[in-house]
Amino acid sequence: EAGVVQSPRYKIIEKKQPVAFWCNPISGHNTLYWYRQNLGQGPELLIRYENEEAVDDSQLPKDRFSAERLKGVDSTLKIQPAELGDSAVYLCASSPAGDTQYFGPGTRLTVL
């Protein structure tokens, strides 16, 4: 069984530039999560999807962050414009029933 796929694995951009991350969850997993992990901290939930519906986006900074999960499968997370403080690892995870999560390898974003 293929795991959660994320791309790119690494991204370096200058501040004020846009950036997008892509996630392909495990087939059949209805729940999809986007997390941000800052150095020395645990993953912080940004948004959770049940199929194509965003059921928890309370921690998503909506002024610059957006996400979508068209057709309830793949998902993209976008930042526009990026700020220095957005440098972090962005993790995507999926789960079949909202419990045990299967994580992708993450995208390490560096904003210069």
Partner 1 sequence: ILNVEQSPQSLHVQEGDSTNFTCSFPSSNFYALHWYRWETAKSPEALFVMTLNGDEKKKGRISATLNTKEGYSYLYIKGSQPEDSATYLCAFYYYSGSARQLTFGSGTQLTVLP
Burial class, 46, CB count within 10 angstroms (exposed 0-12 / middle 13-18 / buried 19+): buried
* Contact window for partner 1 (CB under 8 A) among 21-29, 68-76, 79-87, 104-112: 104-112
The binder of partner 1 chosen from 77, 91, 109, 111 (CB under 8 A): 91
Site string for partner 1, 35-74 (x = CB under 8 A): x----xxxxxx----------x--x---------------
CB 101 within 8 A of CB 93: yes
d(CA 43, CA 103): 11
**102 is a contact residue toward partner 1 (CB under 8 A):** yes
Number of residues located near partner 1, criterion CB under 8 A: 22
